[in-house]
Structure 1
Amino acid sequence: MSSVTAGQMGFTATEKVTFGQPARDAILAQAEGMGARRVFLLASSALRNDTDEIKQIEAALGDRHAATYSGIAPHAPRSDVLAAANAAREARADLIVSIGGGSATDAAKIVALLIKHDVRTVEAFEPLRTYVDDAGNVINPLTVGPDIRVICVPTTLSGGEFNALSGATDEVTMHKQGYEHRNMAPIMVVLDPAITVHTPQWLWLSTGVRSVDHAVETLASYQSNDFADGLADNALRLLAEGLPRVKADPTDLEGRLKCQIGAWQSMISIIGGVPMGASHAIGHILGGTCNVPHGHCSCVMAPYVLAWNAEHDASRQTRINACLGNTHATAAESLDAFIRGLGMPRTLSEVGVLEDQFQRVAEYTMLDIWGRTNPRPVRSPADIMEILRKAA
C-alpha cells in the first residue's frame, strides 16, 4: 500500500481579491463596508505626479479621504517607512491603501505595524523584525499585529501584496529585513489591469519574472505538495503567456490580467508555507544591499539557481520545463531563453553587482529566511559564492 505525506497550508487575514474592476470603485466599496472615515493613501510618486489615477481615487473617496503620502524609495528604507507612519498617525488613519509597486506595498503593511507598536525611531524597528539564529532557525518575535487594516492596489507583479511578510531596509547595514504578522496581510487586494498601463515596461516584465520565480521555486521545492504544485503550474503557464503578450502590446488588458492572476497564484503556496530557495534568498540581499530592482534579481538568479540545483537532482524540474513549453533541453535553459526573450538582464554585471561584493552577498544570504531552504542544501557562504560566480 502506498503512503501519503502529511502537511498543511496556512493562510493570511486577506478576505477579498477583486479583479478587472476600477481601483477607485473597489476601494470606496471596501471603505464604506468597513465604515472607514479616515482613509490614508500611500501612493507611488510616479502615479501621483504623472497621472490622474490618485486624484480619481481621492475624488471617489470624497470626505473619507484623510491624506495622501508618496516618496517611498526602492526597497523601503526604514527612514522612509517611518516618515509614512508619522504621516498616517497625523492623519488619524483608520484604513491604509497602498497604490504602487512592491516598496509601497511593503511600506503600507509595516506602517500599520509601527503605529500599533508606537514606533517613532528607526532604531525601534529592531525588536520587531524577523531574524535567523545561529542554528538557522527563523525567529519571528511578533505576537501582536496591527489594528489598522490595509488595502493593496499593486501596479507591478512582485506579488508581495498577498503576503503577510513585508521587507524594509536597515540603512546602516544595508540589509533588507522581514516583518511578519498575519494581520499585516491586506484585508483586500485590488487587481486593476487598467491602472498598470502606467507602469514602465521594464518594471512590469521584470517583476513578472519575480512571480515566475515564485512558481519555479515552488515546483522545485521538496517541501511542496500537490495543492501548491497545481497553483504554481497554472501560475507559470499564465505568466508564460501573459508577459510576452504585454511586451508585444502594452494595451493588452486581458494579457495584463493574466499576469496579475498568475502572480496571485504564484504567491498562495508561499503564504501557505512552501519555502523558497536560493534565488529568492540571494535576491533579497541583491535588492537591499546592492540596490538591484526586485524583478531584476530573479531575472538574473533564477536560471543559475536551477542549473546549480540540477547538478544535485533535476527530478523536480521536469514540470517547470513543461510549463515553459519545453523550448530547450533543461528547465534552466528554457527559463534563460524566456527571460532573454523579454529583454531582461541575465548577469550580475549587467545589474551593477561586481565580484568584490560577492562575499558580503553570500554572508548575508545565510541570514535570510530562505537561505537554508533550497532543494540542493546550502551549507555555507561558499555554496552561495559558487552560484554567484556562475551568474557573474
Structure 2
Amino acid sequence: MVFEPGGRQHVARELERLGHTRAMVLSTPRQHAQATELADSLGKLAVGVFPDARMHTPVEVTERAVVMARDLSADCVIAIGGGSTTGLGKAIALRTDLDQIVLPTTYAGSEVTPILGETVDATKTTLRSLKVVPETVIYDIDLTLSLPTAVTVNSALNSLAHAVEALWAQDPDPVTLLMAREAITTFVACLPRIVTDPGDRDARAAALYGAWLAGTCLATVGMALHHKLCHVLGGTFDLPHAETHAVVLPYVVAYNAPAALEAATVVERVLGAPGATALRTFVDHLGAPTSLRELGMPESGITEAADRCLAAPYYNPRPVEREPLRDLIRDAWAGNPPRADGYGTAAASNTTS
C-alpha cells in the first residue's frame, strides 16, 4: 500500500520491484486518455492499453481482455480507475495469475479485497479468492482532485456501505469493528467538505483513507442483505453500482435495525439521529440519488429483484422475508422515506405490489 501524493510517478518502481517489464494498462472508456498517458509515461514497460472495462465486470469483456493480454505477452496489469477497472484487473488475474498494480481514482475500496463480482446473462455472482488480491495499490490524492463531485459522493457512499454492513457481519472481530467505526466517522466528516470545495486536498486524503478502511472491512468479514440486494439490482437491471449502494443503504439499515442494535447505535452516534433517517438525510444533503427509479430500474422489476435475492440463502442479522423485502425495494424504488417500523411483517401484509 502506497499512500503518496504524486504516487503514480512510482509505477515503474513498483514494476521493477515485482520483476515485470510488459504491463497492460486497464481503464474504462471514460478514462482512456488517462490510461494512455500512464502507458506513455512507462515507455517500453507498457505494451498496450485495454480501455473497455465495464460496470459489474461482464465476463465477455474479461474474455476479450485476457485474449489481448496473451497476444501482447503481458506479464502484469495496471488498473487505473474505480471499481469497474479494478474488477476487470481482478477477473484477469483470476484467469491468468498475472500480478496487478491498482491506482484508484475513486473511493470504491475494492482494490484491497479478495472479492470479485462478475456478470453473465444479467446475473451477478461473487467469489472470494486470494488470487484476485492486487500486489500493489498506489493511493495518489492527485488522481482524485478532478473527480466530479457526483462521482465522488456516490463512490464514497458505496464505501460507507461496506463499513456499515461490517458492523452487523456474522464474523466480526474487534479490529474490523474499530475500522468500520473509523471509516463511517471519516466519511461523514470529509464528504460535506468535498462537496463544498472539491479541491480540498485534506478532505480528499481523508476520503482515500476512509476507502482503504472500508475496503479492508469488506475484505475481512462477510457481507449481508445490503450487498446481496445491490448485486442483484445491478446485475439484473444494469444499474450503476455506486449509485445503487447510495440509494439502498438507508432502507437496509431500517430493515436490519431491530436485529443490529450496535450498527444502529454507531450510525446514530456519528450522524446525531436515528440511523436510517440520518443516513437518508445525509445522502440527500450530499446531492446523491435517492430512488432506484431515477437510476433506471423499472417498477415491474420489484418482485423479480426480491425473488432473485431470496433464490440463494445467505447470512443476515434479521431473516430476509419476501414481503418485507418487497416493501423495502418498493420504497427504495419510489424514494419514500425508510420506514420507522423496520419493515415489520405487519406493514408488509398491507403491500399490493
Normalising by structure 2, report the TM-score: 0.89
Paired residue type of 2:115:
L
Question: Is the 1:24–1:56 Cα contact (8 Å) retained in structure 2?
Answer: no
Offset of residue 383 of structure 1: 4.1
Paired residue type of 1:230:
L
Offset of residue 48 of structure 1: 2.2
Partner of 1:350: 294
Partner of 1:233: 181
Helix, strand or coil for the counterpart of 1:391?
helix
Partner of 1:141: none
- Alignment partner for residue 100 of structure 2, among 133, 146, 150? 150
Question: Is the 1:47–1:198 Cα contact (8 Å) retained in structure 2?
Answer: no
Partner of 1:184: 132
Q: 1:263 aligned to 2:211?
A: yes
Offset of residue 247 of structure 1: 1.1
Question: Is the 1:24–1:60 Cα contact (8 Å) retained in structure 2?
Answer: no
Question: Is the 1:85–1:112 Cα contact (8 Å) retained in structure 2?
Answer: no
Paired residue type of 1:223:
D
Question: Is the 2:168–2:263 Cα contact (8 Å) retained in structure 1?
Answer: yes
Aligned counterparts of 2:190 and 2:196: Cα–Cα separation in 1: 10
Offset of residue 254 of structure 1: 1.8
Partner of 1:86: 67
Paired residue type of 1:341:
H
Paired residue type of 1:374:
N
The answer for unaligned runs of 5 or more in structure 1 is 1-16, 117-145
Offset of residue 23 of structure 1: 4.0
Normalising by structure 1, report the TM-score: 0.80
Question: Is the 1:101–1:156 Cα contact (8 Å) retained in structure 2?
Answer: yes
Question: Is the 1:221–1:316 Cα contact (8 Å) retained in structure 2?
Answer: no
Q: 1:96 aligned to 2:77?
A: yes
Offset of residue 386 of structure 1: 2.9
Structure with greater proportional helix content: 2
Partner of 1:40: 24
Q: 1:390 aligned to 2:341?
A: no
Question: Is the 1:151–1:189 Cα contact (8 Å) retained in structure 2?
Answer: yes
Paired residue type of 2:317:
P
Question: Is the 1:193–1:256 Cα contact (8 Å) retained in structure 2?
Answer: yes
Q: 1:293 aligned to 2:240?
A: yes
Question: Is the 1:219–1:320 Cα contact (8 Å) retained in structure 2?
Answer: no
Aligned counterparts of 1:187 and 1:308: Cα–Cα separation in 2: 37
Paired residue type of 1:212:
L
CA 1:106/1:207 → structure 2, altered by over 3 Å: closer, same or farther? same
Aligned counterparts of 2:94 and 2:311: Cα–Cα separation in 1: 23
Helix, strand or coil for the counterpart of 1:82?
helix
What pairs with 1:187-266 in structure 2 (closer than 5 Å)?
187-221=135-169, 223-266=171-214
The CA deviation string for residues 248-290 of structure 1, in whole angstroms up to 9 with x for no partner, is 1111122111111101101222212x22221111111111111
CA 1:312/1:179 → structure 2, altered by over 3 Å: closer, same or farther? closer
Offset of residue 230 of structure 1: 0.4
Helix, strand or coil for the counterpart of 2:314?
coil
Identity of paired residues, percent?
28
- Alignment partner for residue 30 of structure 1, among 7, 11, 14? 14
CA 1:333/1:48 → structure 2, altered by over 3 Å: closer, same or farther? same
Paired residue type of 2:306:
A
Paired residue type of 2:107:
L
Q: 1:304 aligned to 2:251?
A: yes
Aligned counterparts of 2:263 and 2:35: Cα–Cα separation in 1: 44
The answer for unaligned runs of 5 or more in structure 2 is 334-353
Greater relative contact order, per chain length (Cα 8 Å cut-off, separation 6+): 1
Aligned counterparts of 2:155 and 2:241: Cα–Cα separation in 1: 7
Question: Is the 1:153–1:192 Cα contact (8 Å) retained in structure 2?
Answer: yes
CA 1:316/1:196 → structure 2, altered by over 3 Å: closer, same or farther? closer
Aligned counterparts of 1:310 and 1:180: Cα–Cα separation in 2: 27
Question: Is the 1:18–1:26 Cα contact (8 Å) retained in structure 2?
Answer: no
Offset of residue 33 of structure 1: 1.1
Partner of 1:375: 317
Helix, strand or coil for the counterpart of 2:246?
helix
Aligned counterparts of 2:127 and 2:75: Cα–Cα separation in 1: 21
Partner of 2:116: 166
Aligned counterparts of 2:115 and 2:78: Cα–Cα separation in 1: 17
Q: 1:68 aligned to 2:49?
A: yes
Partner of 1:119: none
Offset of residue 367 of structure 1: 4.7
Offset of residue 294 of structure 1: 1.3
Aligned counterparts of 1:363 and 1:161: Cα–Cα separation in 2: 31
Paired residue type of 1:45:
P
Offset of residue 381 of structure 1: 3.7
Offset of residue 203 of structure 1: 1.5
Question: Is the 1:218–1:232 Cα contact (8 Å) retained in structure 2?
Answer: yes
Aligned counterparts of 1:315 and 1:45: Cα–Cα separation in 2: 41
